[in-house]
Amino acid sequence: MKSAQELVASARNAFNNGKTKSREFREKQLQNLLRLVEENELEIMEVLADDLKKPKAEACLAEIAYLKNDVKGYLYSLKELMEPEYVEKPLPNVMDTVLIHPEPYGVCLIIGAWNYPIQLTLSPLTAAIAAGNCAVVKPSEVAPASAKLISKLLPKYLDNECYHVYNGGVAETTELLKQKFDYIFYTGSPEVGKIVYQAASKNLTPVTLELGGKCPVYLDDTVDVESAAARIVWGKFMNAGQTCIAPDYLICTKDVETKFVEAAKKKIKQYYGENVKKSPDYCRIINNNHAQRILKLIEGQNIAVGGDHDMSERYIEPTIITNAKPTDPIMQNEIFGPVLPIHTVKNAQEALQFVNSREKPLALYCFSNDKQIIDLFLNNTSSGNFLANDVVMHFSCETIPFGGVGNSGIGSYHGKFGFYTFSHKKGSMLRSINKMGEMMQGMRYPPYTENKLQTILTAIKKRPPIPGVKYLKSGIIFALGFMVAVGTNWLLLSKDKRGH
């Protein structure tokens, strides 16, 4: 494997030569990335099973199908995304071309995560390619089989000068972060995110940090508890709870807690059978260290459902905790495992206060058939995303941005928002130079006079928009502006000649 410095140098040379900037090149690389996924679906499922015992359905839906749709989305919209955005023009700029031009940052570093090791590594890369960047990809060493597959496949399908894979652990990541990148995209924990952010600051490198946090779920008595439990249990125990937007804890009244626990027991049995350990649809914890961490969080808690485990298989049973106190470690740290603590409150207002007393979550979920309650949480909390009456499903909606706020992250992506993340929006103004234009521009040159100043102030004065009219034809605006400027100039010059 080449050194980090060599890989960055290779990518930077390719970018500086303009290799990635044409639409044809970007589309070709995206098509190749799509082929990578389509031609290796079986092997992708095998490594996901090796790393996480991920069932076929979860591997197909959350990783393979998601990636294919992600790539296709950019292929279908790339021409439109690459086009400059023409914007409204104030009066002094009526004869100018004013636009926002999306340009690639350059060489990007993409650090993937282990919980969805294929999707969370290749999806940011997809956006980076669409935006015209080169990239160095660092898969998570915590999912070794997936990392090995990525390092094997990417060089076979993507341009070897522009896109590189750098494998390794903490030492290799540290070495990568010493290099000068033009953009860094990291998915992982807030603790490591702070390290990445600090490293990026040395070169003033912009970042996207897709982090996590404790995603709360509020559940009230206006909804059907059976239906709510079906959705919450699925979202919580999918991938054995190792999902950054999984429900981390439930907030409800004591009465709702009792009903939910009974409903959740039924759903767990319905999804995974009498013996969850033997279910082909239930994942495993990624490694022993993470399993031990999760078990330590359970110690001393009131276990209402589950609690069984087998370290030889990295198995932890779907577990529900009741009477969880805010000061308990399980309510302080992100669980990232198949354990759902329940914190009881008296009402929605108390739940709202509890949520707002903590770090801003990556996602906030509210189950209620009362619109006022939904609006209460939507309008009076801050979170990366908000979802009413379901969990996790907002992730697959590419028309809204996905990302955190505060401790849960910086920046967002998915769909066009991923393209914008990896693009610098360069504000541009294209002007012509000729005698007529210079006559109008001459008012800004010294020597300054009061008449010149007043003319300029009149021209640049902000005015309310004309009702029902968003854009006016440039010719009409120019004619009006030219008449105002020339008329004002004539009056002022006449005034000067009269000695006034």
- Asked whether 133 and 422 are in contact (CB, 8 A), the reply is yes
- Asked whether 444 and 454 are in contact (CB, 8 A), the reply is no
- Single out the residue of 49, 53, 58, 44 nearest to residue 121, CA to CA: 44
Distance CA 99, CA 97 (A): 7
The strand pairing partners of 314, in sequence order, are none
At residue 40, the 3 state secondary structure works out as coil
- CA 195 to chain CA mean position, Å: 19
Residue 81 CB coordination number (10 Å): 18
DSSP class of residue 161?
Answer: T
Q: How many angstroms separate the most distant Cα atoms in the chain?
A: 101
Tell whether the torsion through CA atoms of 140, 143, 145 and 146 is positive or negative.
Answer: negative
Distance CA 159, CA 153 (A): 12
Q: If you write DSSP's letter for every residue of 397-428 in order, what string do you get?
A: -TTS-EE--GGGEE-EESTHHHHHHTEEEEEE
**Ramachandran region, residue 381 (left: φ > 0; alpha: ψ -120 to 50; beta: rest):** beta
490: exposed, middle or buried (C-beta count within 10 Å: 0-12, 13-18, 19+)? Answer: exposed
Active-site residues, by number, are 210, 244
492: exposed, middle or buried (C-beta count within 10 Å: 0-12, 13-18, 19+)? Answer: middle
Whether the bond between 326 and the residue before it is cis, its omega within 30 degrees of 0, is no
**36 is written with which tokens?**
């990578």
Residue 171 dihedral angles phi and psi, to the nearest 5°: -60, -45
The strand pairing partners of 316, in sequence order, are 309
- Single out the residue of 45, 77, 40, 38 nearest to residue 62, CA to CA: 45
**483 is written with which tokens?**
């008449």
- Asked whether 245 and 215 are in contact (CB, 8 A), the reply is yes
Distance CA 167, CA 191 (A): 21
Burial annotation 11-43 (CB, 10 A radius, 16+ → b, else e): bbebbeeebbeeeebbbebbebbbebbeebeee
